[in-house]
Amino acid sequence: MQYCSSVLSPGARPLVRAPANRQPPPFEHLITLPLLFAFVLASASLTLAQDAGTAATEFRGNGVAITIVVHAPSGEPLSSPAMVKLFRGGTIPSGQAETSHGHAELVVNSIGDFTVLVESAGYASAQKEFSVDATGREQVDVYLHSSDSSVANNAIPGRAVLAPKAKKAVDDGFQSLAKDNLSEAGKRAAEAARLAPGHPDVLYLRGVLYLKQKDWSKAQDVLENATQVDPSHAQAFAALGMALCDQGKYDAAISPLEKSLQLNPAAAWDTRWTLAKAYYQHAQYDQALEMSQDALAAAAGKAPEIQLLVAQSLTAVGRYDDAAQALRDFLREHADRREAATARRWLDRLSASGKISKN
C-alpha cells in the first residue's frame, strides 16, 4: 500500500506572530546614568515577565548591554525612528526600544542566542540572529531596505523567530529524516522541542517524524497544533492532510491539502498527489483527474506510479480508452516496477469488461 506521507518532502518553514511588548518611554535616551538606575529599580516589578536585565546588573558584570545600530539603505544610521524588539531563544521577549539617530540600547541579564526585529515606516521589517557569549557590551548592526526592494529581508513583522540553536536542531532533524535516520531525527526533534516547544517549525518537524514512524494519530495532533499556531504554514497543512489521508479520513484531508496549495501554489508534487488521492476516495473524480495529472507533470519522472491514479480517474469519468492508453504507457516505460503487475491487471479488466477493444 502506498502511504500518503511516504513521499513527503520537507520544505522551508515560515515563522509565527510574536508576542507584542510594552513600549518604553521614547525619552529613555535622555535619562542620565544616576536617574537610569532609579528608573530601573522603580520599574523592576513591571518587567519581571521579560528576560531583560538592568543597567545595574550589567555594570556589575552580570549582564550584557546590547547596542542595536539600525542602518538606512545608504548605510548611514537611520535618521527616522525605528522600533527595536529583542527576543532570547527566538520567543522570549527581552525588551524593546525606539531608536534615536539609528541607535537603541537594551540590557539583558544573561548570555545566549538572541534575535532582533526592527520595524520602521517605509522600510521592510528586518531581523537578525546573533549570539552573546560574554557579559559586558555588544553591538549589532541591522540594515533596512525599502519596503518594495527585492532584496528586502524575508522577516514577517510580528512573527516569532527561531533562535540559532533551535533552528539548527530543526534543520539537522530534517536532514536526518531525509536520510531515513529516524533515531537521530528523534534526538534533534527532542532538542528543538526543549528549546522552543511551541514554535510551529518545531511542531512541524515532530509531525513529519511521526508520519515517518507511521504514528498517524500523533502526527495529526501535533500538526493540527502547528496550523493553529501559524495559519500560514503551508507545509504543516500539507503534512496534516497526509496524516489524515493515512488514517483513511479522506474527506477531512481535503481541506488542509487545499489550504496548503492556496498558501503555496507552487507546492511540491507530493501534496498534489495526496490531494488527488483524497479527491478520488471522496468520489470527486473530475478534481482527482485534474490534480493527478498536475502531480504527474510536476513530479517530472520522480514518481511514475502517479500515472496509475491518472488511469483510475480517467476510468471513473468514463474515459476508458484514455485510461487504457495511460496504463499501456506505464507498462512500456516502467515494466520493471512493482506497480506494473497492477497496471496489467487493470488493463485486462478494462478489456474483459468490454470497455476497450482487445489488442
Q: Catalogue all structural domains in the chain, each as residue range(s) with its CATH number.
A: 4-14+164-268 (1.25.40.10), 19-157 (2.60.40.1120)
- The amino acid at 231: P
Q: 254 or 57: which carries more pLDDT confidence?
A: 254
Spatial separation of the C-alpha atoms in residues 117 and 227, rounded to whole Å: 23
Element of type H or E holding 123: strand 123-124
Which region among 5-19, 42-56, 202-216, 271-285 has the lowest average model confidence (pLDDT)?
42-56
- Residue 65 three-state SS: strand
> Which three three-digit cell numbers place residue 307?
500515472
Spatial separation of the C-alpha atoms in residues 123 and 160, rounded to whole Å: 19
Say if residue 157's pLDDT is above 90.
no
Q: What percent of the chain has pLDDT over 70?
A: 77
pLDDT in the model for residue 251 = 96
Which region among 10-14, 124-128, 135-139, 224-228 has the lowest average model confidence (pLDDT)?
10-14
Tell me which residue has cell 491514479: 309
- DSSP-assigned letters across all residues of 132-165: E-SSEEEEEEEE-EETT-TT-----TTEE---HH
pLDDT one-digit tens code per residue, 300-309: 898 999 999 9
Say if residue 40's pLDDT is above 60.
no
pLDDT in the model for residue 306 = 97
Say if residue 295's pLDDT is above 90.
yes
Which region among 33-47, 150-164, 332-346 has the lowest average model confidence (pLDDT)?
33-47
Element of type H or E holding 289: helix 285-299
Q: Is 232 exposed, middle or buried (0-12, 13-18, 19+ CB in 10 A)?
A: middle
Say if residue 275's pLDDT is above 60.
yes
pLDDT in the model for residue 109 = 83
pLDDT one-digit tens code per residue, 133-146: 888 888 988 888 87
User: pLDDT-based confidence at 91, cuts 50/70/90?
Assistant: low
- Residue 306 three-state SS: helix
pLDDT in the model for residue 62 = 61
Nearest to 115 by CA among 152, 153, 79: 153
User: Residue 17, Cβ neighbours under 10 Å: how many?
Assistant: 14
Say if residue 343's pLDDT is above 90.
yes
Contacts 24+ apart (CB under 8 A), 30-33: none
Spatial separation of the C-alpha atoms in residues 145 and 343, rounded to whole Å: 55
pLDDT in the model for residue 192 = 94
pLDDT one-digit tens code per residue, 254-269: 999 999 999 988 888 9
- The amino acid at 270: D
Say if residue 18's pLDDT is above 50.
no
